């Protein structure tokens, strides 16, 4: 959700741009070939950023400045042995910055990248691993035949082969990877691993793949547009709605599992995991439809979702409240609450959605705002925030999903907020009347700690915002009642705030967000292991709910953790799609015995 620098309107293709880019890449390659770390680092600007997605570091890592570049190269250059840097499309130049897409090779793989070059040297430098040499995906001219022509006794059909494989997985054959969860994260990674030939099994406690969406409250709909939400390999058809209803996306995920032939156990809940250090594998206990099964994979991936570990508060009086109360993740919808009084604790996405659905059913509903929330109108976000990369206009201009993902990835998190601030300033000006009405109604609104808006809040803390699809107008008009303050306690039939305000309630919905994904590790493997890997998500920006020190990448996501063989995968559909490639390649390399020396394994600064 960002505009990029320089923007398409500011750039032009000129011969000098190609010359500068080709010259820089050639000189950089020569320095690397000579193993001249100081010379190579000196080709970066004093203020510069190199973001590497697995290609050099077997990690997801950003280094800063010439000193950071030198440290990375000193550790990784010999084993990476990079060569063949080539410009792959016409570079562009704007505002003194040359932007050039390039390809390259390493000792083990092939990669792509994006260079932004100023008069001082490389300003931003993105390198990504695309594929492993000798283990390329079976696509295009390498696609499987699908049938063995000729006459063969005891031939198995495709269906028989699939049934045989399914019957043996976890029984006669152990998966190399167990992925916990079959939401968009687990399913996308499952597709990558299937294509890469890594024996992997998805384990899903729901009855069907996609139940993590299907079982949510009735009115839930994706707030991100379709261009942002494609799955790997199989994009949505061109008549897919801009915003996907939750049951439609759930059905798509289920059909995707079948189409991509992803091994998946449903009605199967992981109840415990234990690392066997001697055997260097996991013992994963699964309740499979009432039968206990032990799986012994080398790797376990938690794809349980950022929004799946409910934060259920503990307020005095919850045990005496005589009405119904539940977390928003368990909310069934408004139908059962006609004629009742509903109090929703919280003021972010889920709260707004649930309150709006209550209002549509003529239910008396009150939103309790405990802290300020950032709101951005969907139309403004789509046009000003996402439009340059993820929109029909971007597609018509030649922007593919892959190129959009790479462009977005090329801006290091350290400076991303600088490009977000003007986007949200423009939104603030465009929708000034809307925000004035909200504030007049008493809604406490913010733009983030540094005015950088929604996406930085998402990256830093995963909370504190609402993409408005209509509920905010109901708050502004008073149709959704608004109360402020912390909850002091509950009585038999009410919620009482710290200032003494008493809100009658037959139902209390706790739209209080979700905890760190390492909470699932604590549940399944114990608190000691959860603390060993530490908090999941956040950048260390030292902003609200994202304590420092600065880490430069999302904590523990899509990369090695402090526990061997334990990984986390997820995020929104865009992140699940894009980063599943890099996690898949890391697992494939380990499966094939390719050395994977990890540069700068993440330190643990926070445990929850």
Q: Residues 463, 518, 283, CA angle at the centre, nearest 5°? A: 150
pLDDT value of residue 238: 95
Provide the CA 301 distance to its chain's centre, in angstroms: 14
Residue 608 confidence (pLDDT): 85
Q: Is the pLDDT of residue 185 over 70?
A: yes
| Burial of 95 (C-beta count, 10 Å sphere; 0-12/13-18/19+) | exposed
How does residue 150 score in pLDDT terms, banded at 50, 70 and 90?
confident
- DSSP label of 99: E
Residues comprising the chain, all counted:
608
Cβ neighbors of 151 (< 8 A, separation 6 or more) are none
What was the pLDDT predicted at 216? 85
Of 214, 470, 505, 219, residue with least CA distance to 361? 219
List b or e across 240-279, with b for residues whose CB sees 16 or more CB atoms inside 10 angstroms: beebbebbbbbbbbbebbeebebbbbbebebeebebeeee
Taking the C-alpha atoms of residue 555 and residue 537, their distance in angstroms, rounded to an integer, is: 5
pLDDT at 1 over 60: no
- Pairwise CA distance, residues 263 & 203, whole Å: 9
- For 288-325, the DSSP string reads ETTEEEEE--SEEEE---TT-SB-----TTTTT--SEE
Distance between alpha carbon 10 and the CA centroid of its chain, in Å?
Answer: 30
Cβ pair 344, 500 in contact under 8 A: no
Contact present, 99 and 6 (Cβ < 8 Å): yes
**Secondary structure element (H or E) that encloses residue 355, with its range:** helix 349-360
Residue the block writes with tokens 């894009």:
578
Round to whole Å and give the CA distance between 282 and 565: 8
Whole-angstrom distance, CA of residue 276 vs CA of residue 438: 55
147 pLDDT band (50/70/90 cuts)? confident
Q: For residues 200 and 209, what is the distance between their CA atoms, to the nearest angstrom?
A: 16
Prior bond of 147 cis (ω within 30°): no
Q: How far apart are CA 333 and CA 217, in angstroms?
A: 5
Bridge-based pairing state of the strands 465-468 and 374-377: parallel
Position with higher pLDDT, 7 vs 334: 334
- For the stretch 339-393, pLDDT in tens is 999 999 999 999 999 999 999 999 999 999 999 999 999 999 999 999 999 999 9
| 116 vs 91: CA distance, rounded Å | 10
Query: For the segment 204-245, what is each residue's pLDDT rounded down to a tens digit?
Result: 999 999 998 998 888 888 889 999 999 999 999 999 999 999
- Of 257, 279, 261, 243, nearest to 209 by C-alpha is 257
List the structure tokens of 166.
């399914």
Q: Give, in order, the Cα–Cα distances in Å from 468 to each of 20, 108, 132, 314, 351.
A: 44, 46, 42, 29, 12
pLDDT at 307: 64
SS3 percent helix, strand, coil of the chain, rounded to 5, is 35, 25, 40
pTM: 0.95
Euclidean distance between CA atoms 106 and 83, whole angstroms: 6
For 267-318, the pLDDT digits (tens) are 999 999 999 999 999 999 999 999 999 999 999 999 998 766 889 999 999 9
- Predicted local distance difference test score (pLDDT) of residue 475: 97
- pLDDT at 13 exceeding the cut of 90: no
553-589: pLDDT as tens digits: 999 999 999 999 999 999 999 999 999 999 999 999 9
> Which tens digits make up the pLDDT trace of 43-60?
999 999 999 999 999 999
Tens of pLDDT along 80-133? 999 999 999 999 999 999 999 999 999 999 999 999 999 999 999 999 999 999
pLDDT band for 4, please (50, 70, 90 cuts): very low
Write the CB contacts of 495 (distance below 8 Å, at least 6 apart in sequence): 343, 345, 368, 487, 502, 503, 505, 508
* 490 neighbors 316 (Cβ within 8 angstroms): yes
Phi-psi region of 457 (alpha: psi -120 to 50; beta: other; left: phi over 0): alpha
**Averaged pLDDT score across all residues of the chain:** 95
Decide if 120 contacts 46 (C-beta within 8 A): yes
65 phi and psi angles, rounded to 5 deg: 70, 175
Number of alpha carbons in the 13 Å side-chain half-sphere of residue 90: 8
Pairing of strands 60-64, 44-53: antiparallel
Alpha-carbon distance of 9 to 489, in angstroms, equals 55
Residue 12: the pLDDT is 57
Q: State the Cα–Cα distance between residues 70 and 54, nearest whole angstrom.
A: 17
| Residue 376, helix vs strand vs coil | strand
């Amino acid at each position: 959700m960002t505009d990029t620098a320089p923007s398409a309107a500011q750039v032009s293709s000129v011969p000098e741009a190609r010359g500068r880019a080709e010259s820089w890449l050639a000189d950089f390659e020569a320095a690397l070939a000579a193993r001249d770390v100081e010379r190579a680092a000196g080709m970066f600007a004093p203020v510069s950023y190199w973001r590497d997605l697995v290609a050099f570091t077997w990690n997801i890592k950003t280094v800063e400045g010439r000193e950071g570049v030198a440290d990375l190269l000193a550790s990784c250059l010999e084993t990476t042995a990079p060569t063949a840097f080539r410009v792959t499309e016409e570079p562009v130049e704007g505002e003194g910055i040359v932007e050039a897409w390039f390809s390259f090779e390493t000792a083990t793989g092939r990669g792509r990248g994006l260079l932004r070059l100023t008069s001082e040297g490389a300003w931003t430098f993105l390198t990504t691993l695309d594929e492993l040499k000798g283990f390329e995906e079976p696509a295009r001219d390498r696609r499987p035949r699908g049938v063995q022509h000729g006459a063969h006794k005891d031939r198995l059909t495709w269906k028989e082969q699939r049934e045989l494989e399914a019957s043996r997985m976890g029984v006669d054959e152990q998966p190399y990877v167990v992925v916990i969860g079959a939401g968009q994260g687990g399913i996308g990674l499952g597709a990558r691993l299937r294509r890469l030939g890594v024996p992997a099994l998805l384990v899903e406690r729901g009855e069907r793949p996609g139940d993590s969406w299907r079982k949510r409250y009735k009115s839930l709909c994706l707030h991100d547009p379709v261009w942002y939400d494609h799955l790997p390999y199989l994009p949505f058809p061109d008549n897919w709605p801009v915003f996907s209803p939750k049951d439609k996306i759930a059905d798509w995920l289920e059909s995707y599992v079948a189409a991509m032939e992803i091994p998946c156990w449903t009605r199967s809940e992981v109840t415990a995991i234990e690392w066997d250090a001697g055997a260097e594998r996991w013992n994963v206990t699964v309740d499979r439809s009432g039968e206990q099964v032990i799986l012994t994979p080398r790797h376990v991936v938690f794809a349980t979702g950022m929004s799946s570990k409910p934060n259920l508060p503990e307020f005095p009086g919850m045990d005496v409240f005589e009405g119904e109360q539940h977390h928003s993740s368990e909310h069934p919808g408004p139908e059962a609450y006609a004629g009742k009084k509903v109090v929703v604790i919280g003021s972010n996405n889920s709260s707004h959605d649930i309150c709006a659905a209550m209002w549509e059913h003529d239910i008396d509903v009150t939103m309790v705002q405990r802290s300020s929330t950032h709101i951005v109108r969907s139309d403004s976000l789509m046009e000003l925030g996402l439009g340059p990369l993820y929109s029909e206009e971007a597609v018509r201009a030649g922007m593919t999903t892959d190129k959009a993902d790479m462009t977005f990835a090329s801006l290091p998190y350290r400076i991303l907020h600088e490009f977000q601030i003007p986007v949200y300033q423009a939104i603030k000006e465009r929708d000034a009347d809307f925000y004035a009405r909200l504030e007049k109604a008493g809604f406490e609104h913010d733009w983030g700690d540094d005015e950088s808006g929604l996406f930085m809040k998402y990256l830093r803390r995963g909370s504190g915002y609402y993409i408005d699809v209509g509920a905010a107008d109901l708050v502004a008009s008073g149709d959704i009642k608004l109360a402020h303050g912390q909850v002091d306690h509950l009585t038999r039939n009410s919620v009482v705030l710290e200032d003494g305000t008493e809100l009658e309630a037959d139902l209390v919905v706790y739209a209080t967000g979700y905890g760190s994904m390492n909470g699932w590790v604590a549940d399944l493997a114990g608190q000691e292991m959860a603390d060993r890997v530490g908090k999941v998500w956040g950048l260390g920006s030292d902003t609200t709910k994202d304590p420092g020190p600065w880490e430069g990448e999302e904590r523990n996501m899509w990369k090695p953790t402090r526990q061997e063989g334990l990984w986390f995968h997820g995020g929104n559909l865009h992140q699940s799609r894009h980063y599943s490639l890099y996690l898949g390649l890391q697992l494939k390399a380990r499966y094939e015995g390719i050395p994977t020396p990890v540069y700068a394994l993440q330190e643990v600064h926070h445990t929850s």
